[in-house]
Chains A and B, each alone.
Chain A
Amino acid sequence: MLIYKATELVNFAQGDLLMLGAFIAYMAVVWWGVDYWISFLIAVLVVGAFGALLDRTVLRRVIGQPQFAVVMLTIGLGAIFRTFASVTWGSEIYTLPTPFSSVTQIAGVTLSHQYLSIIAATLILCGVLYVFFSHTRLGVAMQATSQNQLAAYCMGIPVKLIFSLVWAISAAVAAAAGILLAPVTLIDTNMGLAVALKAFAAAVVGGFGSIPGALVGGISIGLIELYAGATLPEGIKNTAPYILLLTMLAVRPQGLFGTPGGKRM
């Protein structure tokens, strides 16, 4: 769910982009009566373009400033998006109708197609991203840019363009995730914040910058949350992911799949 690998930038507005994606899809499906798949595409494209625009207008100016500035900037942007959403769409809760409403029985377990669709889409998305980052010229260029902007620039990589592309992709992925999540969590203006926090937990547990790690981290966070909700006293469920996150950071900061980083002057 997170694109950190390419930019080493952490985007705290990710959750809010996710929310925007869900809202746009909702508008397309319910208000304009567009087909689900086409509106999925529309939402992803719109939010992706929006991400690129954001980079062009706002985020490019803080290149060269400490990471802290970017973190605060994205937090501020997230707050603006939330306000925008609550002003335009109000604070009601919406449900997004999807074509996946039936259920299947596999080996006695009832699986709803909604969850299956989420799992399948996540796997496909992760696969595509993994291949993109490790096997295409553009993906490798993005990784190079993330590691050393100046060196990448000297090697002829169009760093500015790469940055815009990275933000576009990351926003588009967030939008896709938002649309997939919409039937499960329902759409409201605060859906992004909760999801983004858990996504951070997943990313840290799995190891920042590792796509298989993010998958494993996400699954383990989800499972732990479920089991904690079922077996432990009420209230632990909401905090369990964060407790796991803290212990993980204390014990193995690079995460399960991260590579221990050496430090260089």
Chain B
Amino acid sequence: MKRRFEQLVDQHGSRIFQLARLMLQREDEAEDVAQETLVKLWRNAENLRQGEELPWLITCTRNACLDILRGRTRTRSLLQLVVSENKALNHADERGPAEEMHIDERTRSLRAALAEMPEPARSLLILRDIQELDVATVACTLELSENQVKVYTFRARRQLRYRLEEESNAQVA
């Protein structure tokens, strides 16, 4: 069981961490979610059948992220915003200048716009376009048909594009 657990962590660990990071936009929270998911995987590894692991892991991670996001909207206050802004700034300070240069404005705005997308559009874009998961796995995870996954991804991407264009136009104006 331990070997299987280690294999699954090696195979999918990065994927679940990336999903959490893109959904939450916070490194510390994403780490907590990934850790929690791995512990749950250990507890449930025996009951998971071959091939079911990835959809299970994604569902688990996504649900944990959605819980945090719901909690954020409930308890959002000025103080919390100030704290998280300071944290973000501190994280930025920790990065070296060379690394800072690589993170361009476009990527940042893309991530921010993605984080603000409603569900399931955000999850679809992360899973299909960023993580390039196959349609069947995403359909299984989000409980949609394969055609729905394709069409909803198309719509989500277009919605994201319009948002980015509006943002860009507003900055120019």
Q: Do A and B belong to a common assembly?
A: no
Which B residues fall within an 8 A CB radius of A?
Answer: none
Which A residues fall within an 8 A CB radius of B?
Answer: none
